[in-house]
Structure 1
Amino acid sequence: MSEEQFTNISMVVCLSGLIIFMGFIIWDLGKQSNAGKFGTAVLFLVLGLGVGGFIFKNVLVEFLVLKK
């Protein structure tokens, strides 16, 4: 396994773990603040958009910049 392959695999695994952990943090934040179902859904929507933006940026870089 080359260093590039190891880096790509570890980035996917570590970032996936971080995103899952952030989801747990958002759920715990909604639970501790007594936000209710709607408040927790809003927390996931708003804070999840940041994660979605990060993933979308990486997809754009893969397809638009690196495919040339």
Structure 2
Amino acid sequence: MFGFSEEQIAWFGLTFGVGAFILYMLFVIGQLAWESKAGKFGTFVLFLALALGMLGFIAKVVIQWILEKGAPA
């Protein structure tokens, strides 16, 4: 499609699609904390859970990059 392979489209969708979804989740969790009047600690806990998920996604991307870079041609 449009000169891109299925692998390239999947990589783009997973990388940028999941990244955009994570940013949207930041908005949703912030709105949830605001509407529920979670307070400072409650808001911290909500964002901490999301941050751990983001860290896992970023770690996956970095690990894949390292493994691809170190693989023999």
Q: TM-score, normalised by structure 1?
A: 0.70
Q: Where does the alignment leave 5 or more consecutive residues of structure 2 unmatched?
A: none
| CA distance in structure 2 between the partners assigned to 1:25 and 1:50 by the alignment | 15
| CA distance in structure 2 between the partners assigned to 1:13 and 1:20 by the alignment | 10
Corresponding residue of 1:12: 15
Give aligned pairs, total: 67
- Of the three residues 31, 40, 46, the one matched with 2:49 is 46
The answer to which of 15-24 and 28-37 deviates more is 28-37
Q: Where does the alignment leave 5 or more consecutive residues of structure 1 unmatched?
A: none
Q: What letter matches 2:26 in structure 1?
A: G
Q: What letter matches 2:51 in structure 1?
A: G
Change (3 A) 1:12 1:61: closer
RMSD (CA atoms): 2.0
Corresponding residue of 1:61: 64
- Structure 1's consecutive aligned runs of 4 or more residues displaced over 4 angstroms after TM superposition are none
Change (3 A) 1:33 1:49: same
- Of the three residues 29, 32, 36, the one matched with 1:33 is 36
Q: TM-score, normalised by structure 2?
A: 0.67
